[in-house]
Amino acid sequence: MTIKRVTLLGADGELGPAILTALLAAAFEVTVLKRANSSSPDDYPSNVKVAKVDESFTVSDLVPILAGQDALVITIKGTQVDLQKRLADAAVAAGVQRLIPADFGSCDSASEHAQMLVPLFGAKTELRSYLTKLTHNHSGFSWTAVVGSHFFDWRAEFLHLYPKSCRADILGQEDVRSSYSTLSRVGEATAKVLSKLTETKNRVVYVQSFSVTQDQILKAFEKASGKKWEVQTFDPAEYEKTWVKERDDGDKEAIENLVFMLGALESDWTKKEDFAMKLLGLEDEDLDDVVGKCWEMWK
Ligand SMILES: NC(=O)c1ccc[n+]([C@@H]2O[C@H](COP(=O)([O-])OP(=O)(O)OC[C@H]3O[C@@H](n4cnc5c(N)ncnc54)[C@H](OP(=O)(O)O)[C@@H]3O)[C@@H](O)[C@H]2O)c1
């Protein structure tokens, strides 16, 4: 069982380009699947095929597109569960071996605490259950979720770093480490999963660029910028209480802040049984190197 042909849906999103780059670097034959009415340009490398589908994404439209494909990687918004279920149904009908869903989470979305704080995470569990059910009746079909915690080099504000004004928010638990992944690490891990099919079958793999404390991140940015940063420290329990209340009052920013907290304080994958760095042949990246590049992008 080997994977040669991979279809990627979501190549033009935030994560998609990093996955496309990694799949091509690993010499997979890639087809980008996109909506027929997509406004994203088709400016992919010349060895990438493009397949278009009506925006309704019906199973009957998808099956002929996925026929002959070995894997389907989905990098649309993780909340689009119904669409992903249709993609999974079509993948099964088309004989696709491995599906990697849009489950590239910031935290362990299945944990009780995470689901209590961010009810939307229930959707991820629902999709994993759906995929698992499909595997029971279709032995040729399998799935893997690649969870790398917070994307480190995506948006500074997402990590509560404000490089232009040399400021950072810290949730006051200085010695708590958490995993973080660069976009390229998530891409690389995704490509590795497709070459380790048996070991990664029907499970979550946790990966990282590094596992560090918020203080180590702050120090690395101070080193890269050559400046002392201004820090606002929050008590985690108070922070949680405040943003749960704001969430209940309908504040959209609340969910993002609660996800920030879960990623910064409850996502040390080195402690997880499913920590898969060794399995996938991946090594940690150097925090100072990555922060140096981020500082150049964000300063
Ligand atoms: N761990 C973290 O820190 C973190 C942070 C952000 C995201 N994520 C995860 O990364 C994954 C990808 O998220 P993302 O932010 O990269 O997604 P995104 O930017 O919203 O993805 C948009 C892409 O999906 C495509 N797409 C296809 N069908 C679509 C439809 N029906 N509706 C909307 N878009 C559709 C878009 O196509 P067009 O080009 O045609 O519009 C575009 O290529 C998700 O699992 C998400 O949870 C994780």
Instruction: Give residue 17's pLDDT.
Output: 98
Hey, which of 104, 128, 160, 206 would you mutate to test ligand 1's pocket, going by the most ligand atoms within 8 Å of its Cβ? 104
Per run of 10 residues, the mean pLDDT along the chain (length 299 residues) is: 95 98 98 97 97 98 98 96 98 98 96 95 96 97 98 97 97 90 98 98 98 97 98 96 97 96 97 98 98 98
Instruction: Give residue 43's pLDDT.
Output: 95
Encode 191-216 in three state secondary structure.
HHHCCCCCCCCCEEEECCCEEEEHHH
Instruction: Give residue 108's pLDDT.
Output: 95
Give the nearest ligand 1 atom to 13 CA.
19
Hey, which of 15, 43, 84 would you mutate to test ligand 1's pocket, going by the most ligand atoms within 8 Å of its Cβ? 15
Question: Which stretches within the chain are classed as H helix?
Answer: 16-25, 59-66, 81-94, 112-117, 122-137, 183-193, 214-225, 236-248, 252-265, 277-280, 287-298
- For ligand 1, atom 12, name the residue with the nearest CA: 75
Whole-number Å distance, alpha carbon 13 to ligand 1 midpoint, is 5
Burial of 230 (0-12, 13-18, 19+ CB in 10 A): exposed
Unique residue bearing structure tokens 């099919």: 197
Instruction: Give residue 216's pLDDT.
Output: 97
Q: Could you give the angle at the alpha carbon of 147 between the alpha carbons of 68 and 271, nearest 5°?
A: 140
Q: Is 182 in the pocket of ligand 1 (CB under 6 A)?
A: no
Architecture of domain 5-153+180-208+269-283: 3-Layer(aba) Sandwich (3.40)
Instruction: Give residue 175's pLDDT.
Output: 87
Q: Is 124 in the pocket of ligand 1 (CB under 6 A)?
A: no
CA-closest candidate to residue 299, choices 185, 167, 183: 167
Instruction: Give residue 82's pLDDT.
Output: 97
Is-contact 229 166, C-beta < 8 A? yes
- For ligand 1, atom 10, name the residue with the nearest CA: 104
Instruction: Give residue 172's pLDDT.
Output: 85
Q: Is 40 in the pocket of ligand 1 (CB under 6 A)?
A: yes
Whole-number Å distance, alpha carbon 12 to ligand 1 midpoint, is 8
Whole-number Å distance, alpha carbon 14 to ligand 1 midpoint, is 6
- For ligand 1, atom 38, name the residue with the nearest CA: 38
